[in-house]
A and B are shown apart, each in its own frame.
Chain A
């Protein structure tokens, strides 16, 4: 069984989406189509894989009520452990979030307290963005949640694309009706990912743009979330740097290390 290894907290949100790819399920069914689907999705998935990672990212959020920018630095090790701290703005600087398994701890420098997020908070907005805390945690399980099929291959808007339709499995704890993922046919890098509700109304769109050398290969450096009911709003992540396979101590991801920073 292949495993998704998120590379940073921001990547987690990316991987959230990408790891929904039903890698294992496809491998079980040895039809030619399924094998190909699985293979391509594996490659897409490989884009974000590594034993460990370190990234610096900027998040921009625009809503009807505010626009804000946040810069942060993140580390990951294995698929269960992620840690990030906020660098800017000053108001939130030093805030550290640790994800270990399904637990999320947040250290708040202003009050010098560490808080564990409970199930009741999971659907809450993450840092005022259009992603929820749940989006951050779910990724490890989501690979088992969807059935995938290639539903389009060819030229669209002047680009060679492959489109996957991901349908949640019946028992998957997924609110969506379906997810459409499009990737470039040549590089297998993601272009868009669209989430539909059960009435097949578009709920939110993720777009991946700005191909750049990151962590040793071409990857989309900008990731943007747009809620369908508020097309003027968005959350956008931009990578400044991304490195893979660093040596990171387990202690970095312990609850005790939160307060040391």
Chain B
């Protein structure tokens, strides 16, 4: 008799057991999808938010700027560098930016901070977190002019309102101290006090004039990718291009090591959780198969007595585990799809858990827990659970194969 068919039939001899075990595998699929999907979604959001704070997923900048920032270090011919990068597949956007330290002063006070000079034509709420979080006024309309968008805490410290003057002082390309005036045309609030209290956005051509930069000079190009997962390969690709040989190319992991660290730790804790759940699923399968082997000791004895080789018995049990896993995975896919669709689109709103004072801008943190699964994660989950199921079946199978026939007939 075909071992495959025998295994399949054996499974359905105990419908309830098979179904419960299948359910636990299926539930394992759902859990793994939820855990991994929550991670994939959350990390992508964090990485994209981080990228939209200035540096992009991949950054092209002057050599050594990252290690010791100075406005003297700058990229030249940024327009051609930008054009070239924009043509690459996977690149969704490239922004020319100048970032540096500055002193901001109003008639009442002065505060040290950071500026990011941008070309408004290249910026939008997708690639620029500050545009997303403007709470008053509007985004810069021109790369020229004397407008400035300031963080809410900075505005508060300097007693600034819309339309008020700010003098920013910084060090130009020759190391000279330079100042220029700007008027507040917008105020943003990201919810991160370090950013809101120190950051300002300026029009790029005006800053170039103040710093003594040429029109095609900037400190960095921030590249936004269609998918953050390609940042490392894109970095390597760009770094290998002769056009960028005089620049330094960094992936977000290099430009924002702290964020990369946080995600790495969270990921590993997520893996630990999933490993534990995988062990539970495996324990369920092991339990089922072991029980089934134990109760069929007599049956196996008979089978071996009529000439079935121990190897075939081992294969039979392995096949049973295999089909059990397949049933479980298919059931898992069936129950997970509606759950996934719900979680990917609607999600669980956690804001109820915060009480009534939830008024956070929501730029960094999302009150709704959603999931999103990468293709490779789907494959990893299915393969992982399948392997676990087979591994769990191995011991009972080995056990079934080594039962001596005479003794097995004696039990019960």
Chain A binder among B11-19, B132-140, B167-175: B167-175
CA distance A220 to B103 in the complex (A): 34
Known: A134-B169, A173-B167, A198-B164. A119 touches B177 (CB 8 A): yes
The answer to whether B177 and A175 touch across the interface, beta carbons within 8 angstroms, is: no
Given A122-B177, A123-B103, A172-B181: A198 touches B165 (CB 8 Å cut-off): yes
Contacting residues, chain B, for A138 (C-beta < 8 A): 179
**Closest CB-CB distance, A178 to chain B, in whole Å?**
11
Q: Is A176's beta carbon under 8 Å from chain B?
A: yes
- What distance in Å separates the Cβ of B69 from its nearest Cβ neighbour in chain A? 13
Inter-chain contact A173/B181, CB cutoff 8 Å: yes
State which of B106, B146, B164, B170 has its C-beta within 8 Å of the C-beta of A119.
Answer: B170
| The residue from B112, B164, B179 contacting A173, defined by CB atoms under 8 A apart | B179
- How far, in whole Å, are A203 and B146 apart by their CA atoms in the complex? 24
- Which of chain B's residues have a CB closer than 8 A to the CB of A174? 165, 167, 181
Main secondary structure of the interface of A (DSSP, over half): loop
Interface string of A146-186 (1 = CB under 8 A from B): 00000000000000000000001011111111000000000
**Shortest distance between the CB of A46 and any CB in chain B (Å):** 27
User: How far is A132 from B106 in the complex, measured between Cα atoms in Å?
Assistant: 13
Residue A137 at the chain B interface, CB threshold 8 Å: yes
Among B102, B169, B177, the one with the most A-chain Cβ atoms within 10 Å of its Cβ is B177
Instruction: Pick the contact of A171: B112, B169, B181 (CB < 8 A).
Output: B181
- Given the complex of chains A and B, what is the CA–CA distance between A174 and B169 in angstroms? 11
With both chains docked as a complex, state the minimum distance between the C-beta of B206 and any C-beta of chain A, in angstroms. 9
Q: Which residues of A contact B107 (CB under 8 A)?
A: 175-177, 195, 197-198, 203
Inter-chain contacts of B166 with A (CB < 8 A) = 175
User: Closest CB of chain A to B135's CB: distance in Å?
Assistant: 21
Q: Which B residues, 140 to 198, have Cβ-Cβ distances below 8 Å to chain A?
A: 146, 164-167, 169-171, 176-181
Indicate whether B87 reaches chain A with its CB closer than 8 angstroms. Answer: no
Q: Is the CB of A175 within 8 A of B105?
A: yes
Residue among A102, A123, A137, A195 making CB contact with B105, cutoff 8 Å: A123
Measured in the bound complex, the distance between the Cα atoms of B103 and A134 in whole Å is 11
**Contact A173–B176 (Cβ < 8 Å):** no
B108 & A197 in contact (Cβ 8 Å cutoff): yes
Measured in the bound complex, the distance between the Cα atoms of B175 and A101 in whole Å is 12
Q: Tell me, yes or no, whether A118 is within 8 Å of chain B by CB.
A: yes
A243 shortest CB reach to chain B, Å: 30
Q: A249 → chain B, closest Cβ, in Å?
A: 25
A120 is an interface residue with CB less than 8 A from chain B: yes
Contact B169 A175 (CB under 8 A): no
Assembly CA distance A122 to B164 (angstroms)? 21
B253 contacts chain A at the CB level, 8 A cutoff: no
Residue from the list B101, B167, B171 in contact with A175, Cβ < 8 A: B167
Provide the B90-116 mask, 1 if CB < 8 A to any CB of A, else 0.
000000000001110111101010000
Q: CB distance A171 to B146 under 8 Å?
A: yes
CB-based nearest A residue for B171: A119
**Which B64-110 residues have a C-beta within 8 angstroms of A?**
101-103, 105-108, 110
| CB atoms of A120 and B101 under 8 A apart | yes
Instruction: Note all chain A residues with C-beta closer than 8 A to B112.
Output: 120
> B142 to nearest A CB, angstroms?
15
Q: Which residue of A lies closest to B100 (CB)?
A: A119
A94→B255 CA distance, assembly (Å)? 45
- Residues of A contacting B167 in the complex (Cβ-Cβ under 8 angstroms): 173-175
Q: Which residues of A contact B169 (CB under 8 A)?
A: 119, 122-123, 134, 173
A101–B106 alpha-carbon span in the complex (Å)? 24
Closest chain A residue, CB of each to CB of B104? A123
CB distance from B218 to the nearest CB of A (A): 20
Chain B residue at minimum C-beta to C-beta distance from A101: B176
Complex-state Cα separation, A102 to B164, whole angstroms: 26
Taking the closest CB of chain A, its distance from the CB of B100, in whole angstroms, is: 10
Q: A119-B169, A197-B107 are in contact. Are A102 and B181 (CB under 8 A)?
A: no
A229: nearest chain-B partner, CB-CB: B108
Inside 8 A of A118's CB, which chain B residues have their CB? 171, 177
Docked complex Cα distance between A64 and B399 (Å)? 89
Query: Whole-angstrom distance from the CB of B147 to the nearest CB of chain A?
Result: 12
B178 contacts which chain A residues (CB < 8 A)? Answer: 102, 119
How far does the alpha carbon of A172 sit from the alpha carbon of B146 in the complex, in Å? 10
In B223-238, the 8 Å CB interface with A consists of: none
Beta-carbon nearest neighbor of B160 in chain A: A198
Q: Give the Cβ gap from B72 to chain A, nearest Cβ, in Å.
A: 13
Q: A: which residues have CB within 8 A of B?
A: 101-103, 118-120, 122-123, 132, 134, 137-138, 168, 170-177, 195, 197-198, 203
Chain B residues near A (Cβ < 8 Å):
101-103, 105-108, 110, 112, 146, 164-167, 169-171, 176-181
Taking A138-B179, A203-B107 as given, write out 10 further A-B residue pairs in contact, using a Cβ cutoff of 8 Å, ordered by the A residue number.
A102-B178, A118-B177, A137-B177, A170-B181, A172-B181, A174-B167, A175-B107, A176-B107, A197-B108, A198-B107
19 A-B pairs within 8 Å (CB atoms) are namely A103-B176, A119-B169, A119-B170, A119-B178, A122-B179, A123-B105, A134-B105, A134-B179, A137-B177, A168-B181, A171-B146, A171-B181, A173-B181, A174-B167, A174-B181, A175-B106, A175-B166, A176-B107, A198-B107
